[in-house]
Amino acid sequence: SAVISQKPSRDICQRGTSLTIQCQVDSQVTMMFWYRQQPGQSLTLIATANQGSEATYESGFVIDKFPISRPNLTFSTLTVSNMSPEDSSIYLCSVERTDYGYTFGSGTRLTVV
């Protein structure tokens, strides 16, 4: 299955600032997915990132708050903008591998203070 390198693994940020999370996949993939997982909760899809087009955001998530880049078929970034304590979560990127299911990055644990 695909190997995803995600960084940073964790960060503590001041409110009002922004953090960019990077995911690098070891092979080309069409779609990359960005999730948020709040403590003790399940996964919530933020957006789907396709190379060469704008990301598709799920209800409750907007581009101004969570801008996404997808410059090529192996890389994507998610920025959490103008952070507040409510943004404290684990953020995960994911890709699909047919017959293997979805593979996840190691996650970014974000704490906003």
Partner 1 sequence: ELKVEQNPLFLSMQEGKNYTIYCNYSTTSDRLYWYRQDPGKSLESLFVLLSNGAVKQEGRLMASLDTKARLSTLHITAAVHDLSATYFCAVRFMDSNYQLIWGAGTKLIIKP
In angstroms, give the least distance from the CB of 43 to partner 1.
Answer: 5
Q: Give yes or no for residue 43 binding partner 1 (CB under 8 A).
A: yes
Nearer to partner 1, 31 or 81 (CB): 31
Nearer to partner 1, 14 or 39 (CB): 39
* Per-residue exposure over 92-113, b if at least 16 CB sit within 10 Å of its own CB, e if not: bbbbbeeeeeebbbebbbbebe
Q: Give yes or no for residue 27 binding partner 1 (CB under 8 A).
A: no
DSSP for 11-57 reads: EEE-TT--EEEEEEESS--SEEEEEEE-TT--EEEEEEEETTSPPEE
How many whole angstroms separate alpha carbon 71 and alpha carbon 69?
6
In angstroms, give the least distance from the CB of 60 to partner 1.
Answer: 15
Size of interface with partner 1, in residues (CB under 8 A): 18
Nearer to partner 1, 44 or 79 (CB): 44
How many whole angstroms separate alpha carbon 91 and alpha carbon 47?
12
Q: Give yes or no for residue 109 binding partner 1 (CB under 8 A).
A: yes
User: Can you give the binding site for partner 1, defined by CB under 8 A?
Assistant: 1, 33, 41-45, 92, 99-107, 109
